[in-house]
Amino acid sequence: MNRVAVQPDAHFVNRYGPWGLVAGASQGLGAAYARELARRGLSVVLIARRSEPLQALGREIERDFGVAARPVTVDLSSPDFLSVIERETRDLAVGLLVYNAAFSNGGLFLDRSPESLLKVIDTDCRAPLLLTRHFAGQMRERHRGGIILMSSLTAFNGSPGLAAYGATKGFNLVLGEGLWYELRRAGIDLTVCCAGAVRTPGYEASVAAKSSFPPVLEPAKVAREAVRALGRRMIVIPGSFNRAVSFLMRRLLPRRTTVRIMGEAVDSLSLSQR
């Protein structure tokens, strides 16, 4: 057995356990979130469309951390996704929800079909809204729990080349801020994670040219910082470079200038459709 030597975090398990659920867990940041929750002692529900990587991650987590893993294969952009998740988690007490999945749909707005734009809304807005409503309702009954909503630095200003995706990240940021206040009364912590570039399969597929700028963070670091922020911060921006850039763009530059800079950065990364 290759079990990693881990000491479960008893406070974390009491506050957010016994089960965590990661939506969008089959690779990248979602897989890193699942490992981070398991390392701290939570059993994990793993959600994505592809069954094979979910099963493999589940086996790895059970072996390495000695917790249970339950893979659930479902398309979060489908109209009835919630009924599948309700059915598959009915017997579990989910105390921590991480909504990580996204459809980023990079490229020029007018080159995208209406169907593909609506899929951005379904995956990045509708699904986190309904999952948060569902699991926060259960957490309220236990008067404890936590929620992490994955947003992005694109949430703060318009993002040419990623306009619809960036707008959904703004939705998650503003939704999370409102709920951070509302849900505190119900004993539920909420943190919105506004990440910069993270080295994930999704990110690597979206940038044609390998570039050393902007600095790209490892998924494990982002997941660790976001989970550590839960109960402490309403918004977390992992990485000191990202915090400095975000401060500059939000507080010091006119919005119009920021949008221009974002447009030029996206142009130089040659975004392809994801």
Active site residues: 165
Cα 188 from Cα 190, distance rounded (Å): 7
Q: Tell whether residue 106 is a contact of ligand NAP (CB under 6 A).
A: no
State which of residues 34, 67, 77, 85 lies at the interface with ligand NAP (CB under 6 A). Answer: 77
Residue 195 lies near ligand NAP (rule: CB under 6 A): yes
Judged by beta carbon, residue 150 or residue 179, the one nearer ligand NAP is: 150
Q: Which of 97, 102, 147, 163 binds ligand NAP (CB under 6 A)?
A: 102
Task: Provide the β-strand partners of residue 240.
Answer: none
- Contact, 243 vs 222, CB < 8 A? no
Q: Does 200 bind ligand NAP (CB under 6 A)?
A: yes
Instruction: Tell me the window of 5-13, 156-164, 198-206, 223-231 that interacts with ligand NAP (CB under 6 A).
Output: 198-206
Residue 97 as a binder of ligand NAP (CB under 6 A): the answer is: no
Q: Helices marked H in 68-192 — which ranges?
A: 81-89, 114-121, 127-142, 163-184
Q: Which residue's structure tokens are 């989910």?
A: 94
Compute the least distance from the CB of residue 196 to ligand NAP, in Å.
Answer: 6
Give me 196's structure tokens.
Answer: 């910069």
What binding mask, one character per residue, do residues 147-186 give for ligand NAP by CB under 6 A, x or -? Answer: ---x-x----------------------------------
Closest approach of ligand NAP to the CB of residue 171, in Å: 12
- The structure tokens listed for 94 are 């989910």
Q: Which of 38, 26, 92 is nearest to 66 (CA)?
A: 38
Backbone angles phi, psi at 238, to 5 degrees: -65, 140
| Residue 246 to residue 252: CA distance in whole angstroms | 10
Asked whether position 203 contacts ligand NAP by CB under 6 A, the answer is yes
Q: Does 24 bind ligand NAP (CB under 6 A)?
A: yes
Q: With CB under 6 A as the contact rule, which of the stretches 109-117, 180-188, 191-199, 256-264 interacts with ligand NAP?
A: 191-199
Q: Is 100 in the site for ligand NAP (CB under 6 A)?
A: yes
Partner residues linked to 188 by β-bridges:
145
Non-local CB neighbours of 124 within 8 Å, separated by 6+ positions: 101, 102, 103, 165, 168, 169, 171, 172
- Work out which of 45, 76, 94, 136 binds ligand NAP, going by CB under 6 A: 76
Contacting residue, 49, 126, 144, 221, with ligand NAP by CB under 6 A: 49
- Listed as own residue / partner, the contacts of 251-258 with beta carbons closer than 8 Å and 24 or more positions apart are 255/157, 255/158, 258/156, 258/157
Residue nearest to ligand NAP (CB): 202
Q: Which residues in this chain contact ligand NAP in the complex, by CB under 6 A? A: 24-30, 48-50, 75-77, 100-103, 123, 150, 152, 195, 197-198, 200-203
